[in-house]
Amino acid sequence: MLKLLTYNQETVKSKKKINWKSVKLKGNSSIDFANQLRKLNSFLEKNWQIERDSKTGNPTYKTPSVLVIYRSDQEFVLNDIIPTKSKPSNMFDLIIASQPYRSRISAEKKVKYVINPMIKALAPKGKLIVVHAAGNDPANKIIKKIWPKENPFPSLANKIYTYLKSNLKTEELKKLQFLDKKIIPCKLRALPNEIQGGIATSVIFSAWNVAIYVNQIDESKVIQAEKSQQYQKIVSKFVDQNNGLYFNNEIFIILKK
């Protein structure tokens, strides 16, 4: 089951009407599901819009919306955890958050808007698993070579843990256990014939796209770098040195006792 909540306290307080939509996927194949999900495009285009708050200037959702997606043949099993408009909150045994925020924002914002709300949604003995890009890898070195002042990963697990331990109430901290972080390398694979005797153009483009995506580089900077095509030589050098390309993901786990 996938639950996407696109409203926050600010938008709820504004007393806007929440647009709630539940989708029961029929069939038993990825093609069946994909065809049904494509039909949601018009709903997403209409309701996933942002506006600026007239008082604070902060971005907020124009139409607070909730989209709940699950397989219809699993409805009986999921009945107790499928959110409804009258009962939108649930407690979860497991929450997996993969790249759940922009890497460049502060530990404070990551905790306030993402990590802490998920901790509160954990049931007793529940587990929160967070995975995010961490840098210190060839993909990040490509970026540093082109933009030396870029710092895409200023607040990783250690800073998130520190902020949590410094700002949560003692009673809340007693209920939590913070496991040691781990680094998981993710390798961009290339066929042997794409590396030997010169690196294929397709590999260079793939590596470049990975580097700018993982490091979340602004589109305007990417366009400017691509005009000179100097990036191709830089990417080729790092791909050759590493027999491909990899980037590091950091994983950390928070348990609720």
> Taking the mean position of all CA atoms in its chain, how far away is CA 119?
16
CA of residue 178 relative to chain centroid, distance: 20
The pLDDT assigned to 150 comes to: 94
- What pLDDT is stored for residue 9 in this prediction? 46
CA distance 14 to 11: 5
Phi and psi of 112, rounded to 5°?
-65, -45
Report the distance separating Cα 251 and Cα 134, nearest Å: 9
List the chain domain ranges.
1-86
Amino acid, res. 179:
L
**Cα 197 to Cα 188: distance, rounded to the nearest angstrom:** 19
> CA-CA distance, 142 to 215, in Å (whole number)?
10
Q: Can you give the pLDDT at residue 12?
A: 45
Partners of residue 69 on adjacent β-strands: 2, 23
pLDDT at 87: 78
pLDDT for 112 equals 94
Nearest CA to 135 out of 248, 250, 239 is that of 248
Closest CA to 125 of 175, 84, 76: 175
* Residue-level pLDDT at 194: 53
In whole angstroms, what is the distance from residue 253 CA to residue 164 CA? Answer: 13
3-state secondary structure string across 172-200:
HHHCEEECCCEEEEEEECCCHHHHCCCCC
Strand, coil or helix: what is 208?
A: helix
Which pTM value belongs to this model?
0.71
Proportion of the chain in helix, strand, coil states, percent, rounded to 5:
40, 25, 35
- Which residues have a Cβ under 8 Å from the Cβ of 35 and sit 6 or more positions away? none
Q: 121: Cβ–Cβ under 8 A, 6 or more apart, which residues? A: 89, 90, 91, 92, 95
* Mean per-residue pLDDT pooled into runs of 10, the chain (257 residues): 44 61 93 94 86 76 86 91 81 92 94 94 95 95 95 96 96 96 87 56 87 93 90 90 89 97
CB neighbour burial string for 157-172, b if at least 16 within 10 angstroms, e if fewer:
beebbebbeeebeeee
End-to-end Cα, the chain, rounded Å: 25
Distance CA 26, CA 40 (A): 14
Q: Can you say whether the dihedral through the CA atoms of 209, 214, 215, 216 is positive or negative? A: positive
- Quote the pLDDT of residue 51: 83
